[in-house]
Amino acid sequence: MTKNTKPINHTAIRNLYPDAVTVADGFIVLDDDGNSIKVDKTAYDAEVARLKAEHAATQYQRDRAEAYPSWQDQMDMMYHDQTEGSRTWLDAIEAVKEAHPK
């Protein structure tokens, strides 16, 4: 299991089995009393596929978050927009949205 897939795998198990308090590699899933929870492989595979599709569908959100100017820069742009009559802030935001569409 790679480092990037482990969290999604644990999330899938926790979504399917809310009573799970321990999730370890190799489908070792335990409840609060230490009892083993049997993982349904078909349901697990379906949940992993759903989570991956959801993650892929929202990639633009993560791309936009990285591309936006810092909040400090945005505040500076807004100040200059009001005092100088320019549109630097709106232009910057629109450029990010165009570069990373939904």
Note the pLDDT of residue 3: 44
Q: Quick check: 81 and 73 in contact, CB under 8 A?
A: no
Residues of the chain above pLDDT 90, percent: 69
3-class SS at 28? strand
Q: Are 37 and 31 in contact (CB under 8 A)?
A: yes
Confidence check: pLDDT of 96 > 60: yes
Bridge partners of 30, per DSSP, are 22, 36
Q: How far apart are CA 72 and CA 39, in angstroms?
A: 47
Structure confidence at residue 27 (pLDDT)? 81
CB atoms within 10 A of CB 89: 19
pLDDT-derived band at 5 (thresholds 50, 70, 90) equals low
pLDDT number for residue 7:
85
Is 6 or 49 the better-scoring residue by pLDDT?
Answer: 49
Query: Who wins on pLDDT, 5 or 76?
Result: 76
pLDDT over 50 (residue 2):
no
